[in-house]
Amino acid sequence: MHFIWWVYLSHLVSYWSAAAAAALFIDSSQWDWSCAKQVWSNHTVYTAPFVLLASLYWRHSYLGIGHGWWQLPACVLLTDILFYYPHRAMHSRWLYHLHKQHHVWKKPMGVAALYAHPFEHVVVNVAPPFFAAVLLKCHPTVFVAWVAIASANTVLAHAQEGQHTGHHRHWNKNFGVGLMLCDRLHGTLITSTSSSPYVPLRQASLRGGEAE
């Protein structure tokens, strides 16, 4: 069996375990069944075919497992770059009609981390961490570990106060992940947001700005 199926399994287990833990141990409002249904649809209808194609046509060239010590932190840095620009593009007037689905929840919650339009799910959510590991030639075991870490992290980033909840308060800030290096470079980083209200969907600017 192609190792990419183990990567896919690690993603599912990590994501849903983290989402359940957020609802059980952080706040029961972190769960919504209609949201979970859409996310599961993204996982099965759109992520699974992506994995199937990879298993059929992709042969991964990788370094030894001993390189994992630098590849994991490098994956964090590279994913920030690969995620920042398509995510910021989704806030443009041309693509926001697709991205607004992710912002439908006034307050973000863990299970909604991958609540997104199918196009965004594949291009913005799936592709960046996947291609980060591919470009860095991660060993299959490192690849599996990286996807598990990234999956749990995206849930926790939506479940508790932090950099990404700042994005849900100020939609033209905090587009990146991890160390937010691209946000620092482009002046879109905001570090203190917990006292600001979440921006309701109906007030969101199509340009990704503050509430109108």
Secondary structure (3-state) at 93: coil
Q: How many helices (H) and strands (E) does the chain have?
A: 10, 0
Residue showing tokens 């059980």: 24
**For the segment 70-98, what is each residue's pLDDT rounded down to a tens digit?**
999 999 999 999 999 999 999 999 999 99
pLDDT at position 137 is 97
- Between vectors from CA 34 to CA 144 and to CA 154, what angle results, nearest 5°? 30
Secondary structure (3-state) at 123: helix
**For the segment 158-191, what is each residue's pLDDT rounded down to a tens digit?**
998 888 888 888 888 999 999 999 999 999 998 8
What's the average model confidence in pLDDT over 179-204?
72
Count CB-CB contacts under 10 A for residue 47: 21
pTM: 0.89
What is the C-alpha to C-alpha distance for residues 139 and 15, in angstroms, rounded to an integer? 21
Q: Are 153 and 109 in contact (CB under 8 A)?
A: no
5-19, 69-83, 133-147, 182-196: which range is least confident on average?
Answer: 182-196
What is the C-alpha to C-alpha distance for residues 24 and 184, in angstroms, rounded to an integer? 34
Residue 61 burial (10 A CB sphere; 0-12, 13-18, 19+): exposed
pLDDT at position 186 is 97
Query: Does residue 173 come out as left (phi exceeding 0), alpha (psi in the -120 to 50 range) or beta?
Result: beta
Residue 25 burial (10 A CB sphere; 0-12, 13-18, 19+): exposed
Residue 29 burial (10 A CB sphere; 0-12, 13-18, 19+): exposed
Count CB-CB contacts under 10 A for residue 104: 12
Cβ neighbours of residue 202 closer than 8 Å, sequence gap 6 or more = none
**CA 195 to mean position of chain CA atoms:** 24
